[in-house]
Amino acid sequence: MLSSTSSRACPKSHSMAVRVAAMLGRRLLLQLLLLAAAFDAYDGAGHSPNISRGSFPEGFIFGTASSAYQYEGAVKEGGRGPSIWDTFTHQHPEKIVDGSNGDVAVDSYHLYKEDVRVMKDMGMDAYRFSISWTRILPNGSLNGGVNREGVRYYNNLIDELLLKGAQPFVTLFHWDSPQALEDKYGGFLSPNIINDYKDYAEVCFNEFGDRVKHWITFNEPWTFCSSGYALGTSAPGRCSPWELGKCSAGDSGTEPYTVCHHQLLAHAETVRLYKEKYQAAQKGDIGITLVSHWFVPFSRSKSNDDAARRAIDFMLGWFMDPLTKGDYPLSMRALVGNRLPQFTKEQSELVKGAFDFIGINYYTTNYADNLPPSNGLNVTYNTDARANLTGFRNGVPIGPQAASSWLFVYPRGFRELLLYVKETYGNPTVYITENGIDEANNKSLSLQQALKDDARIEYYHKHLVALQSAISDGANVKGYFAWSLLDNFEWGNGYTVRFGIYFVDYNDSLKRYPKSSAHWFTEFLKKA
């Protein structure tokens, strides 16, 4: 530190120091302003910077995503057996907003060639779709035989994609468990399903693995377990009787953990099978898709900081901790206790590192507010994290609200989540396997009005800016899939919301029309 006399000893050097300090101060201020502008760009304020395919690394993959039950229809055609979603929508239409189902969906079973064409017209590189387990094994297991007609359908789809220059990214399970296995032993409540799932996966590796180079074992186990077994609002509709779904059977405090435990083990067994028997010859990769929100403390306090950390442990860490460390997060072990299954030493070693890549689905961010311990009477996964999750603070939303009540636009959370994964889990290879926004299915709009989806363009633009920023900061992301190519059956919302880049006319033969966002993507994806 300079003494009080040293600065007076040389007035010239002192004035130069002042000028340098002022210049550095202005430069720092400019950098801070630029940084603030960048944050504004993907938080909804100001104007987004220009971004295009060229803003991303060489070889970065862009695609769209779908799933079998939401797209295919033809539920009784081609030898397909029933899934739990067939049963759920027909037995409990009251749990679907418009009482609808996926019997026809958007008929991709018959219209897949058109869907591949419109996707390639935009310039997409890849298509993520799921295989219907019961279209391959109608009763869920090998003893019922392989349905060759189902195999033929997926061969045709894969071949059409490759013919048009699109890579298939194949999800093996997107929530549509075989009803036969649900009836036989309770589906994923039973460890018996691990071998049946592995057998199903092996049929797929044998039939399609010569052309499929990216396999995803499970889509969003968190959603399947929490909505299907804690809330009871999704298939198979199990929960404690006092929960939201008012279920006739289930236990919201134990079954979600049991089911996800079995999915993790089925995933790990299947990854081992693929790596030991198929990977060397087929030269593909295998991973799992996880969904996570980002969580912002409701207020600046240690208790709410802790609540936000617990929230992400109970949503993302539930799976990423076992996959990278061999066990569930310490917060889950502490709060769930003996309701949380244990891994044996062999299982822990099997699960740890069981992936080539991680798929991440990001849509939204919530505030996390600390909850005091429950009274222990109504035990449920939904309060085990002791975090109240909300999109509002003092009546103000965290970001613009979409048609789905849970979806708030908060692009900054996308970047924060990806950097959290980088720092917490060793920077794994990541594909963004879903990201998107919906609008209400407003039947009073003309077709021309319905195709104008400026909010979707803004959502994608700002999330892609956030993604590019995360990649610049070292996040190891290799691809991005928009949800979704088409409007479709959106689970509990039925057909009341639209997530598509393409509009589907449900009143006129399911015709497809490009929305404004499809034209935007076409421009975005143009190669220099």
Choose among 22, 270, 316: nearest CA to 170. 270
Please give the single-letter amino acid code of residue 61: I
**Six-digit token string for 99:** 């009482």
- Give the confidence band of 376 by pLDDT, cuts at 50, 70, 90: confident
Q: What is the pLDDT of residue 48?
A: 59
Residue 20 has pLDDT above 50, yes or no: no
Q: Give percent above pLDDT 90 in the chain.
A: 89
Residue-wise pLDDT for 113-128, tens only, equals 999 999 999 999 999 9
Residue-wise pLDDT for 444-473, tens only, equals 999 999 999 999 999 999 999 999 999 999
**88 sits in which H/E element:** helix 84-91
Cα separation, 125 vs 65, in Å, equals 12
CA 86 to chain centre: 22
Residue 202 has pLDDT above 60, yes or no: yes
Residue pair 46/465 in contact by the 8 Å Cβ criterion:
no
How far is residue 271 from each of residues 111, 180, 351, 357, measured CA to CA in Å? 32, 24, 9, 11
Please give the single-letter amino acid code of residue 89: T
Query: To which CATH superfamily is domain 53-524 assigned?
Result: Glycosidases (3.20.20.80)
Which residue did the predictor score with more confidence, 7 or 414?
414
Cα separation, 384 vs 478, in Å, equals 34
CA 32 to chain centre: 33
Contacts of 186 (CB under 8 A, 6+ apart): none
**Six-digit token string for 12:** 């010239």
Choose among 269, 256, 158: nearest CA to 208. 158
Residue pair 128/433 in contact by the 8 Å Cβ criterion:
yes
Residue-wise pLDDT for 166-188, tens only, equals 999 999 999 999 999 999 999 99
Q: Which residues are catalytic?
A: 220, 434
Residue pair 208/171 in contact by the 8 Å Cβ criterion:
no
Cα separation, 194 vs 213, in Å, equals 23
How far is residue 38 from each of residues 27, 41, 43, 47, 327, measured CA to CA in Å? 16, 5, 9, 9, 38
- Give the confidence band of 285 by pLDDT, cuts at 50, 70, 90: very high
Q: Over the chain, what is the mean pLDDT?
A: 93
Q: Where are the domains of the chain?
A: 17-47, 53-524
Q: What is the pLDDT of residue 326?
A: 99
Report the DSSP beta bridge partners of residue 393: 396
Averaged pLDDT, 255-279: 99
Q: Which of 31-40, 230-239, 408-417, 492-501 has the lowest mean pLDDT?
A: 31-40
Residue 9 has pLDDT above 80, yes or no: no
- Rg value, the chain, Cα: 25
Q: Give percent above pLDDT 70 in the chain.
A: 91
- CA 417, 307, 255 angle in degrees (round to 5)? 85
Q: What is the pLDDT of residue 44?
A: 43
Cα separation, 490 vs 148, in Å, equals 29
Contacts of 351 (CB under 8 A, 6+ apart): 264, 265, 267, 268, 322, 323, 326, 343
| Peptide bond before residue 236 is cis, with ω within 30 degrees of 0 | yes
Averaged pLDDT, 145-162: 99
How many other C-beta atoms can be found within 10 angstroms of the C-beta atom of residue 30?
A: 10
Contacts by residues 508-514 (CB-CB < 8 Å, ≥ 24 positions apart): 510/104, 510/106, 510/107, 510/111, 512/111, 512/114, 512/115, 512/118, 512/486, 513/447, 513/451, 514/118, 514/451
